[in-house]
Amino acid sequence: MTITVLTVRSLPLPPLKARGEDIRIVPLSEGAADAEVLIATGTDPVGAATIAALPKSVGLIANFGVGTDNIDLDAAAARGIRVSNTPVVTEDTADLAFALILAATRRIAAADRYVRAGQWTARAAFPLGQRVHGARLGIVGFGAIGQAVARRAAGFSMKVSYWARSPKDEGASLGAAHVPDLGELVAGSDIVSIHLPLTSQTRHLFGADLLGRFKPGAVLVNTGRGPLIDEAALVTALEAGTIGAAGLDVFEHEPQVDPHLLTMDQVVLAPHIGSATGPCRADMAARAIGNVIAFLETGEPRDRVV
């Protein structure tokens, strides 16, 4: 006997066993009437139609990623299918957020292009950047990743505020002030870093109205999800200089990037690499596999989302 697990894409998984039986990995496109689990990744949409077409025997969608916005959670819940995630990307994503804060404020990508293009001459003056240490950092979303960014900001003597629905106990120990009004938070920040999940409530939260409330010339960093920002409105704000610079790891229509952003020297771009370190990807794989095996053996994954 073998246990069948479907995957949305081919993943480098080691030989696996559960209930003393071998696990057979089958691509979703091939299907398998007896499959018990579907392994998904954050970049593959698992919508209502895909969920409706899953064999009745599937009881878990194990996502490879902490965000589960790629999965129609209501459709999964309606069919009694559990969904799990891999909440082990916190520190690596916070590292990348901080890298983008530094890169956008100090114009690192533009500086690199400038040197490579031979523009550095005795008379040339590279445009000045913005100061990071001591700056006001507004963290939007104060879950594990937002808090990890606040810890890093302490080393740069930044004045940290955060927006979350309610104050968090960790705020006091991290020296971060809760600001209940998002418009007020962005208006008082030199740098804003986004760490929210993508839901129907947070989609396009950063639209023209909110972007218009930023401090003139402020820096915006997004390592959360692209559709949290109305990308066209961001382009307009960057062109007008109301947002001074941006560091973006995620985009509204990944892997497509608004062509205007590609031409802007004040924007630093990364291809959704928040978790892209060897150790983090290994941790994610171990956690996703752990969820699959726990579900197969006990009926519950370790990191259940719904």
Binding residues for ligand 8YV (CB under 6 A): 41-43, 64-67, 89, 274-275
Would you say 65 or 141 has its CB closer to ligand 8YV?
65
Q: How far is the CB of 287 from ligand 8YV (least distance, A)?
A: 10
Annotation marks residue 272 as catalytic: yes
Is 204 tagged catalytic? no
Q: Which is nearer to ligand 8YV, 56 or 253 (CB)?
A: 253
Query: One of 82, 195, 225, 287 is an active-site residue; which one?
Result: 225
Work out how close the CB of 84 gets to ligand 8YV at its nearest, in angstroms, rounded to a whole number.
12
**Minimum distance, C-beta of residue 64 to ligand 8YV, in the bound complex (Å):** 5
Q: Toward ligand 8YV, which CB reaches closer, 42 or 188?
A: 42
Q: What is the spatial distance between Cα 294 and Cα 300, in angstroms, rounded to a whole number?
A: 6
Using CB positions, name the residue nearest to ligand 8YV.
42
CB of 138 to ligand 8YV, least distance (A): 21
- Quick one: 16 or 285, whose CB is closer to ligand 8YV? 285
Point out the catalytic residue in the list 91, 170, 184, 254: 254
Please indicate whether residue 225 is annotated as part of the active site: yes
Residues with catalytic roles: 225, 254, 272
